[in-house]
Amino acid sequence: MLPCNVIIQELNNGKIEVAAINPIASMSAVNNEDIERGAIEVSILLNKFIASLED
């Protein structure tokens, strides 16, 4: 499992902000191709999720 912290907060203007740690950056120190592939997959899924909230 990758460490993927996600923060969801309501801003003063009433909008919702979603922020997530970049799994590729957080796993870059680990020299393992399997973990790198997993981090890329998780990054793609997180970006799709966050983009879906903007629609």
Number of domains in the chain: 1
Residue 49 belongs to a domain? yes
Could you tell me where the DSSP H helices lie in 1-55?
23-26, 33-54
Q: Give the bridge partners for 17, in sequence order.
A: 9
Q: Domain containing 24: what range? A: 6-54
Quote the pLDDT of residue 48: 92
Q: Using CA of residue 37, residue 39, residue 45, residue 50, what is the dihedral sign?
A: negative
Closest to 27 (Cα-Cα) out of 13, 17, 41 = 41
Is residue 31 a part of any domain in this protein?
yes
> What pLDDT is recorded for position 29?
86
Q: How many CB atoms lie within 10 A of CB 29?
A: 6
Q: Supply the pLDDT for residue 4.
A: 65
pLDDT at 40: 93
Each residue's pLDDT tens digit in the chain (55 positions)?
566 678 889 999 999 888 888 889 888 888 899 999 999 999 999 889 888 887 6
- How many beta carbons lie within 10 A of that of residue 54, not counting itself? 6
Question: Would you say residue 1 lies in a domain?
Answer: no
